[in-house]
Chain A
Amino acid sequence: DAGITQSPRHKVTETGTPVTLRCHQTENHRYMYWYRQDPGHGLRLIHYSYGVKDTDKGEVSDGYSVSRSKTEDFLLTLESATSSQTSVYFCAISESKGAGDGYTFGSGTRLTVV
């Protein structure tokens, strides 16, 4: 009954290939986020969405694009994967941007670029 799911959970891909990660939510939350987590850096925001077709860049957006054609799905695409994009990717959702609204995270996708 998870309200947020990510797919795939693990992926190994080759340098230069495009990769798409999917985040799916059943909570009807307006806000969705993609973060990457790397040792020594913590969670860093890649892109976020504040509604269908409304997206914006985060701190580390270079090499990534996103799309949100439906409330429930937020896709992250690596246009041409590089080894520096090997990471754990987390999707998160939030009901609003109000002060008390934190995030609920998906289980993560571990991506390895070889």
Chain B
Amino acid sequence: GQNIDQPTEMTATEGAIVQINCTYQTSGFNGLFWYQQHAGEAPTFLSYNVLDGLEEKGRFSSFLSRSKGYSYLLLKELQMKDSASYLCAVKNRGSQGNLIFGKGTKLSVKP
């Protein structure tokens, strides 16, 4: 079966750094995605990892360890607009390459 776990909620302070973890169990791993979703809006693509290591994109970075079934999303220099839900999603080689989503982590950034 497939299982994706991430914390339900997190709180951080404006200007700080926050790390959102995601662990997964799946067969035929074929990539991990992070999406950002503001309340009442659609998810939007943030990052993609298929090989082990860190991918950096501005204030956002994402890390993957395939052997540990683990990823994290790192947000630096937090801004109020970063308050949103962050969704971890895994793609498998089977099932027509469908994305399986975790339940999301709601991040609240406080002044």
Chain A residues within 8 Å of B, Cβ to Cβ: 31, 33, 35, 40-45, 48, 50, 56, 58, 90, 94, 96-108
Known: A41-B103, A100-B50. A33 touches B98 (CB 8 A): yes
A35 to chain B, nearest CB (A): 8
List B22-37 residues whose CB lies under 8 Å from chain A: 30-31, 33, 35
Stretch at the interface among B41-49, B57-65, B71-79: B41-49
Q: Which residue of B lies closest to A103 (CB)?
A: B99
Q: Which residue of A lies closest to B85 (CB)?
A: A42
Cβ B87 vs Cβ A42 within 8 A: yes
Out of B42, B99, B103, name the residue touching A102 (CB < 8 Å).
B99
Cβ B42 vs Cβ A43 within 8 A: no
A98 and B91 CA atoms in complex are apart in Å by 9
Interface residues on chain B, size class: 20 to 34
Cβ A107 vs Cβ B30 within 8 A: no
B88 to chain A, nearest CB (A): 10
Known: A40-B103, A90-B42, A90-B43. A102 touches B87 (CB 8 A): no
A41 and B85 CA atoms in complex are apart in Å by 13
A48 and B45 CA atoms in complex are apart in Å by 19
Cβ B96 vs Cβ A48 within 8 A: yes
Q: Which residue of A lies closest to B34 (CB)?
A: A102
Out of B30, B48, B50, B87, name the residue touching A43 (CB < 8 Å).
B87
Collect the chain A residues with CB atoms within 8 Å of residue B35's CB. Answer: 102
Collect the chain B residues with CB atoms within 8 Å of residue A41's CB. Answer: 103
Collect the chain B residues with CB atoms within 8 Å of residue A103's CB. Answer: 43, 45, 99
> Can you show 13 pairs from A to B with CB atoms below 8 A apart?
A42-B102, A42-B104, A44-B101, A50-B96, A90-B42, A97-B97, A97-B98, A100-B48, A101-B97, A102-B99, A103-B45, A105-B42, A107-B41
A104 and B33 CA atoms in complex are apart in Å by 12
A31 and B42 CA atoms in complex are apart in Å by 18
Collect the chain B residues with CB atoms within 8 Å of residue A33's CB. Answer: 98
